[in-house]
A and B are shown apart, each in its own frame.
Chain A
Amino acid sequence: MKYGYYPGCSLERNAIAYQQSTMAIAKPLGIEFIEVEDWNCCGATEYFAIDALAAYALVGRNLALASQQKLNGDRNQLVAPCSACFLNLYKTDHYMAEDNKLNANVNEALAAGGLHYDPGTVKVRHLLDIIVNDIGYEAIAERVTKPLFNLRVAPYYGCMIVRPASIESFDNPEYPTSLDKLTHSLGAEVVDFPLKAHCCGGHMTQISENTALELIRRLLKNAADYDADMIVTLCPMCQLNLDAYQENVNKHFGTNFHIPVLYFTQLMGLAFGLSANNLGLGKEFINAKPALDKISSEPLKKQRRKKRPPKETLPMPTMPEES
């Protein structure tokens, strides 16, 4: 399967482990990623705060390049591994389709650079989406040669992946399960912790560190309360916040968390029996090795553990339909 690929700035450096492991698992899964030529930064959550049209045009350039470069023949799908990039690309395409004025303005700006984009031409998807929905849990389980038995993994979704601007998403925005099922198909024990789709604070580490540290502390504590050996993420910023700021949290609150935070692609690679060197292991601040050493060749007997209270998505009040 061929896909267009938009790595985003983080994957070139800070999240190099995510990039390496994504490329490493693509091969056994039969995925080919074709990177958008000369893509630019999507502006993260910053550009929209300063200049709306420039922000949409900035993202629009990437969409225009992706459609022009015909990365994937007629099935023009663009995959982004970073939740923020995914949301920006997805939302820009969607809002251009909804809002004629925005569409005209973005295209007028793009025309100054000789580009054009028709909304709907490129289908934007998150990496996790294509892995669980196009490849599928069964095909993944078949590739597993070294199951992650006995490793307790807390799947952390963060916010943006399941909440694309209140439009249809591939998983439940309140109680997502795709990463849980994926983790399960690798043989690991899934830790269903209540804060799995809560926000880690995003850029608050730069703006108000106290606010950010409290949000990160809550997530770490929640995962620890449910006996997680590690947290697995799907977004470079989530990984950075939970991993690199963990020591700051410990200093600030006098806590003693040591929960490694890996990318789901790294765990997939390990379960597929790929070499740790090709998966970017060791780039994390909180060393993942002690947790990975817990993996046993046989599934151990399950212990009784704390279970989260059952919580289906509650129905939300809506306006009565007019008859």
Chain B
Amino acid sequence: METNLQTSRTPTFYDEVIRDTPGGDPNLEMCIQCGTCGGSCPSGADMDHTPRNLFAMINAGMKEDVLRSNSPWYCVSCYYCMVRCPQEIHITDIMYTLKRMAIKEGLYRESSASEAPGFSETFIHYVENYGRSFELGLATWHHLRYHPINAIRMASTMGLELLRKGRMDLTPTRIKNMPQLKKILKKAKAIGGTT
């Protein structure tokens, strides 16, 4: 008798993480808890949990603790862990998955990196409306929202210097075929179930 366990039970947190990580099998079940990832991570010292820790917690079904952890937000996407992992686990991609899940569940607000999604969202706002990123707007809005004092500092020192050297624009650039990009992104969100 053949029963497929994968489909006959409700997906666990562990299944969800694997399902939501694109790019083929992330090999999460292969983790041998060796710790190579955490030892290689530039942000390791500032993370609540190393990647190894997070994977053990995912395995144990500790969804809320995992999604409340600041670790995914401190991941700078450097892929050091991923080239070194002896089990070829797609660690960096799993970190992205955890970020998305934490936003969906709203749990990132309880982590010490609660403003990180705001930065990503501001960035995306420009991309979705102009097709390009806009550094001046990005830094200014991000700082105005989270560090009003810094916004003034940033505008008065580094920002001004970047402007003076012609390294920053005052207005964003827009791509020509913005309607096409909007249609593509709208469709992608509809398929991905995020609209």
A residues within 8 Å of B by Cβ?
A: 9-10, 12-16, 38-41, 43-54, 56-58, 60-61, 87, 91, 94-95, 98-99, 101-102, 105-106, 108-115, 159-160, 163-166, 173-174, 198-199, 201-204, 206-208, 211, 215, 244, 248, 282-283, 285, 316-319
Q: Determine whether B120 belongs to the interface, using a CB cutoff of 8 Å to chain A.
A: yes
Q: Determine whether B142 belongs to the interface, using a CB cutoff of 8 Å to chain A.
A: yes
Partner of A207, one of B42, B119, B132, B188: B119
Q: Report how far A198 CA is from B88 CA in the complex, Å.
A: 20
Report whether A57 and B120 are in contact in the complex, using a CB–CB cutoff of 8 Å. Answer: no
Report whether A109 and B184 are in contact in the complex, using a CB–CB cutoff of 8 Å. Answer: yes
Q: Which 6 A-B pairs have the closest CB atoms?
A: A53-B192, A112-B187, A95-B23, A159-B78, A163-B79, A109-B188
Report whether A45 and B77 are in contact in the complex, using a CB–CB cutoff of 8 Å. Answer: yes
Q: Chain B: which residue is nearest A212 at the CB level?
A: B76
Q: Chain A: which residue is nearest B177 at the CB level?
A: A38
Which residues from chain A contact B46 at a C-beta distance below 8 Å? Answer: 208, 211
Report whether A54 and B120 are in contact in the complex, using a CB–CB cutoff of 8 Å. Answer: no
B98 → chain A closest CB, angstroms: 9
Q: Report how far A208 CA is from B74 CA in the complex, Å.
A: 8
Measured as residues with beta carbon below 8 angstroms from the partner, the interface class of chain B is: 35 or more
Task: Report if A208-B133 is in contact (Cβ < 8 Å); known contacts: A57-B185, A165-B82, A319-B86.
Answer: no
Which residues from chain B contact A203 at a C-beta distance below 8 Å? Answer: 76, 119
Report whether A166 and B100 are in contact in the complex, using a CB–CB cutoff of 8 Å. Answer: no
Partner of A47, one of B115, B124, B131: B124
Q: Determine whether B48 belongs to the interface, using a CB cutoff of 8 Å to chain A.
A: no
Q: Chain A: which residue is nearest B85 at the CB level?
A: A166
Q: Report how far A80 CA is from B20 CA in the complex, Å.
A: 28
Partner of A54, one of B86, B165, B188: B188
Q: Determine whether B92 belongs to the interface, using a CB cutoff of 8 Å to chain A.
A: yes
Q: Chain A: which residue is nearest B139 at the CB level?
A: A206
Which residues from chain A contact B135 at a C-beta distance below 8 Å? Answer: 9-10, 13-14
Stretch in B1-9, B49-57, B167-175 touching the partner:
B167-175
Q: Report how far A206 CA is from B146 CA in the complex, Å.
A: 10
Which residues from chain A contact B139 at a C-beta distance below 8 Å? Answer: 206
Which residues from chain A contact B161 at a C-beta distance below 8 Å? Answer: 244, 285
B158 → chain A closest CB, angstroms: 6
Q: Report how far A14 CA is from B132 CA in the complex, Å.
A: 13
Partner of B192, one of A39, A51, A285, A316: A51
Task: Report if A108-B187 is in contact (Cβ < 8 Å); known contacts: A95-B24, A163-B79, A283-B167.
Answer: yes
A280 → chain B closest CB, angstroms: 9
Q: Determine whether B121 belongs to the interface, using a CB cutoff of 8 Å to chain A.
A: yes
Q: Report how far A318 CA is from B116 CA in the complex, Å.
A: 35
Q: Determine whether B127 belongs to the interface, using a CB cutoff of 8 Å to chain A.
A: yes
Q: Chain A: which residue is nearest B41 at the CB level?
A: A199
Which residues from chain A contact B186 at a C-beta distance below 8 Å? Answer: 112
Report whether B175 and A46 are in contact in the complex, using a CB–CB cutoff of 8 Å. Answer: no
Report whether A166 and B86 are in contact in the complex, using a CB–CB cutoff of 8 Å. Answer: no
Report whether B188 and A43 are in contact in the complex, using a CB–CB cutoff of 8 Å. Answer: no
Report whether B177 and A198 are in contact in the complex, using a CB–CB cutoff of 8 Å. Answer: no
Report whether B188 and A199 are in contact in the complex, using a CB–CB cutoff of 8 Å. Answer: no
